[in-house]
C-alpha cells in the first residue's frame, strides 16, 4: 500500500488521518499532517456478520451510481454572450429575464465564475441550448509510472 500523501510504500499498517475533511491512509511520517481517525468496530445498521465497507457508504446498493458525468462545454461564457447579443438584450435585461443579478451575468460572461446548476438551467431554457456535455473517460498521460498521490498535487506547508 502507498501513502496517499507522499506515495512512499507503507510497511505494516497505514495510519488513517483526516486532512481538511478528507480521510487518507498515510505513512507514519505524513501522519503529523492530519488528525488521527479511529474506526468503529461495527456499523450498527450493517447486516449480521458483515461490516459495511467504504463502498457501501459511498455507493449504497439501493441508489444508482452515474457512469457518465456532465461537464460544462468549453467556452460556455462566449456562447452565453453570443446568445444574449443575438436576442439584442443588455446584460441587465438578460439578468432580469432569468431573475439573477447583473453582476453574476457579467462574471459568467467574463468566465470569472463557473455556472451553478440552477443558473445554467435557466440560461439553457431561455436560449434553448445545452451548456453541458457528457464526459465518459478521463485520459491520463502515458508516462505516469505510479499512482498519483495527494503529495504530487499539493504542496504541504511545513512548520519551521
Residues 52 and 95 placed together within one structural domain of the fold: no
Report yes or no on 120 lying in a domain.
yes
Check which CATH number belongs to the domain holding 128 and give it: 1.10.260.40
Q: What is the DSSP letter of 10?
A: P
- Distances in Å between the Cα of 68 and the Cα atoms of 1, 133, 136, 138 are 29, 10, 5, 11
Report yes or no on 160 lying in a domain.
no
What is the domain extent for residue 116?
69-135
Residues 98 and 47 placed together within one structural domain of the fold: no
6-15, 31-40, 56-65, 137-146: least confidently modelled range: 56-65
pTM value is 0.46
Report yes or no on 3 lying in a domain.
no
Report yes or no on 94 lying in a domain.
yes
Tens-digit pLDDT profile for residues 10-26: 888 888 888 887 888 88
Residues 78 and 23 placed together within one structural domain of the fold: no
Domain count, the chain: 2
Average pLDDT over residues 51-77: 61
Amino acid at each position: 500500500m502507498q501513502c496517499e500523501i507522499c506515495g512512499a510504500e507503507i510497511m505494516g499498517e497505514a495510519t488513517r488521518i483526516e486532512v481538511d475533511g478528507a480521510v487518507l491512509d498515510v505513512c507514519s511520517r505524513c501522519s503529523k499532517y492530519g488528525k488521527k481517525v479511529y474506526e468503529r468496530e461495527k456499523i450498527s445498521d450493517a447486516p449480521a456478520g458483515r461490516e459495511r465497507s467504504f463502498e457501501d457508504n459511498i455507493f449504497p446498493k439501493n441508489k444508482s451510481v452515474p457512469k457518465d458525468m456532465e461537464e460544462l462545454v468549453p467556452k460556455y461564457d462566449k456562447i452565453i454572450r453570443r446568445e444574449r447579443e443575438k436576442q439584442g438584450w443588455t446584460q441587465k435585461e438578460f439578468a432580469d429575464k432569468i431573475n439573477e443579478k447583473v453582476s453574476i451575468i457579467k462574471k459568467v460572461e467574463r468566465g470569472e465564475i463557473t455556472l451553478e446548476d440552477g443558473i445554467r438551467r435557466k440560461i439553457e431554457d431561455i436560449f434553448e441550448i445545452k451548456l453541458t456535455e457528457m464526459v465518459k473517460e478521463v485520459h491520463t498521460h502515458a508516462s505516469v509510472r505510479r499512482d498519483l498521490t495527494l503529495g504530487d498535487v499539493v504542496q504541504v506547508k511545513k512548520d519551521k
